């Protein structure tokens, strides 16, 4: 074997060994062991592509591309060696020739080393494809299955912002993003569902709770749900994200998404009572309320459903449901419906007024309880307390959520020992009927002892 051939084989084997070692080390240690997946980079559009580890992906994503890259390196280096040896032989014949020696030297250099340069370029492409030079996006990864591209991403204290590109070749509708199996969170699905035109991008904010703080590691599985334009069934595409939490606050400009289930538009009730059943989606929801006809707004502080609301009179009614989030983004939905029947005039009833503890000292926290019932639906209650024998102070209005409930509010006692404290509850139902308990009282005890509640009057 010629000396030049031995040197060529050594260079070839060393080149391939280093190339394959760098690639396999990256794929196994960075991706398979950490994410149970293979992550590669589309060399045409730059998309970072995610494949769960299985027999099919190992063969199609790892083995075949690696074989192709190795084959190209071997071919290009072999061509380089071939033209090197050929030019060496012909150079002896052309020494006495009249051919321009500079042009001949340039041609020999191009044919000899041009193929070696091509092999080098292929090697760089292989390292970039498998992320062996750096991870596909630097120190962080956001990769999706083929078809969608994670263009940009950032994790902040409120959740994850994803910029998703559509490379499926068709418009996709009802697109939502979510994160599962996160080491922080939990996270909830983005809203509202969006459309991404073919070749376009769209942003999705995935709200997450309990994000630990800036520079902590965040990792999770991405789940994208969508429906191809013209299709009926929903498809799911997966991926992963691994990065550090940034000092970022999402600028929420999305209004709450209201789904009003009942009353439906043009629904007819056989009684004066109707139900308000709805859902509101917003990662930062603040409060809800509704307006019936020309009546005052009715607050729904926890955005709760209400059953058996008295419409007040038979006929057509207009109901508007409102929702607002903490960034003052508002939404509303209006429906028209009809009711018929007679009006509810029965007021709520009360029983068992009591305080806890039964013996009260100055500065104690005292819980005031009363049990209420209504034939239709309780609405809310207010506690009024007089600690100075002069003025009653009303506490905030609280909402009932069932037919039989207990009004319960805790107040700190500021009255001095020996003072008699008076209290009573006011409550109303959804038909506008109200009731007030009799006035209850107790005496603030002296230090070391006390008196039982005096009772109602």
So where are the chain's domains?
3-129, 141-244, 257-339, 349-456
Query: Which of 125-139, 249-263, 287-301 is predicted least confidently?
Result: 125-139
Write out pLDDT tens, residues 30-58: 677 666 777 776 666 666 776 777 777 67
Q: Which carries the bigger pLDDT value, residue 242 or residue 227?
A: 227
Average pLDDT over residues 74-83: 77
Do the two domains 257-339 and 349-456 of this chain adopt the same fold? yes
The Cβ of residue 11 has, within 10 Å, a number of other Cβ atoms equal to 14
Tell which residue, 282, 159, 252, has the closest CA to residue 209.
159
365-412 pLDDT, tens digit per residue, is: 999 999 999 888 888 999 999 998 888 999 989 988 665 689 999 999
Q: What percent of the chain has pLDDT over 70?
A: 83
Out of 2.60.40.10, 2.30.110.10, 3.30.590.20, 3.20.20.70, the CATH code matching 349-456 is 2.60.40.10
Q: What is the mean pLDDT of residues 295-313?
A: 90
Helix axes 101-129, 64-93, angle to 10 degrees: 170
- Collapse the DSSP code of 58 into the 3-class scheme (helix H, G, I; strand E, B; otherwise coil) and give the result: helix
CATH topology for 141-244? Immunoglobulin-like (2.60.40)
Using CA atoms, how far residue 308 sits from 318, 371, 376, 430, in Å, is 16, 20, 6, 8
Classify domain 257-339 by CATH architecture. Answer: Sandwich (2.60)
> Residue 107: CB partners within 8 Å, gap ≥ 6?
none
Question: What confidence tens digit (pLDDT) does each residue in 191-231 have?
Answer: 889 999 999 999 999 988 888 888 888 888 899 999 999 99
pLDDT level of residue 312 (50, 70, 90 thresholds): confident
Q: Is the pTM of this model over 0.85?
A: no
- Quick check: 251 pLDDT over 90? no
């Amino acid at each position: 074997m010629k000396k030049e051939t031995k040197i060529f084989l050594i260079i070839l084997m060393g080149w391939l060994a280093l190339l394959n070692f760098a690639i396999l080390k990256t794929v196994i240690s960075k991706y398979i062991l950490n994410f149970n997946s293979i992550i590669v980079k589309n060399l045409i559009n730059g998309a970072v592509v995610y494949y769960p580890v299985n027999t099919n992906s190992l063969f199609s994503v790892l083995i075949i591309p690696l074989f192709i890259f190795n084959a190209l390196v071997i071919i290009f280096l072999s061509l380089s060696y071939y033209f090197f040896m050929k030019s060496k032989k012909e150079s002896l014949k052309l020494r006495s020739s009249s051919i321009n020696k500079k042009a001949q030297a340039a041609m020999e250099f191009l044919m000899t080393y041009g193929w070696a340069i091509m092999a080098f370029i292929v090697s760089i492409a292989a390292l970039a494809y498998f992320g062996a030079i750096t991870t596909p996006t630097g120190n962080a990864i956001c990769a999706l299955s083929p078809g969608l591209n994670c263009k940009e991403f950032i994790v902040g204290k409120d959740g994850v912002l994803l910029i998703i590109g559509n490379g499926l070749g068709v418009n996709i509708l009802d697109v939502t993003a979510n994160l599962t199996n996160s080491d922080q969170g939990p996270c909830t699905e983005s809203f509202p569902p969006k459309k991404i035109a073919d070749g376009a991008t769209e942003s999705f904010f995935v709200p997450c709770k309990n994000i630990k703080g800036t520079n902590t590691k965040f990792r999770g599985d991405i789940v994208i749900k969508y429906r191809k334009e013209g299709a009926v069934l929903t498809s799911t595409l997966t991926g992963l994200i691994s990065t550090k939490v940034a000092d970022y606050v999402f600028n929420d400009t999305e209004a709450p998404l209201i789904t009003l289930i009942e009353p439906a538009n043009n629904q007819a009730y056989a009684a004066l009572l109707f139900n308000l059943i709805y859902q509101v989606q917003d990662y930062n929801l603040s409060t809800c309320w509704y307006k019936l006809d020309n009546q005052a707004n009715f607050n729904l502080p926890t955005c709760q459903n209400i059953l058996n609301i008295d419409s007040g009179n038979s006929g057509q009614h207009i109901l508007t449901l409102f929702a607002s989030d903490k960034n003052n983004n508002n939404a509303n939905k209006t429906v028209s419906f009809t009711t018929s029947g007679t009006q509810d005039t029965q007021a709520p009833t009360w029983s068992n007024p009591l305080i806890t503890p039964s013996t009260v000292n100055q500065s104690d926290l005292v819980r005031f309880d009363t049990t209420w019932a209504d034939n239709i639906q309780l609405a809310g209650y207010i506690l009024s307390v007089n600690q100075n024998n002069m003025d009653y102070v009303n506490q905030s209005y609280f909402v009932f959520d069932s037919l039989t409930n207990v009004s319960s509010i805790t107040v700190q006692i500021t009255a001095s020992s020996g003072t008699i404290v008076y209290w009573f509850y006011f409550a109303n139902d959804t038909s506008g009927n109200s009731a007030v308990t009799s006035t209850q009282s107790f005496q603030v005890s002296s230090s070391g002892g006390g008196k039982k509640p005096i009772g109602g009057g």
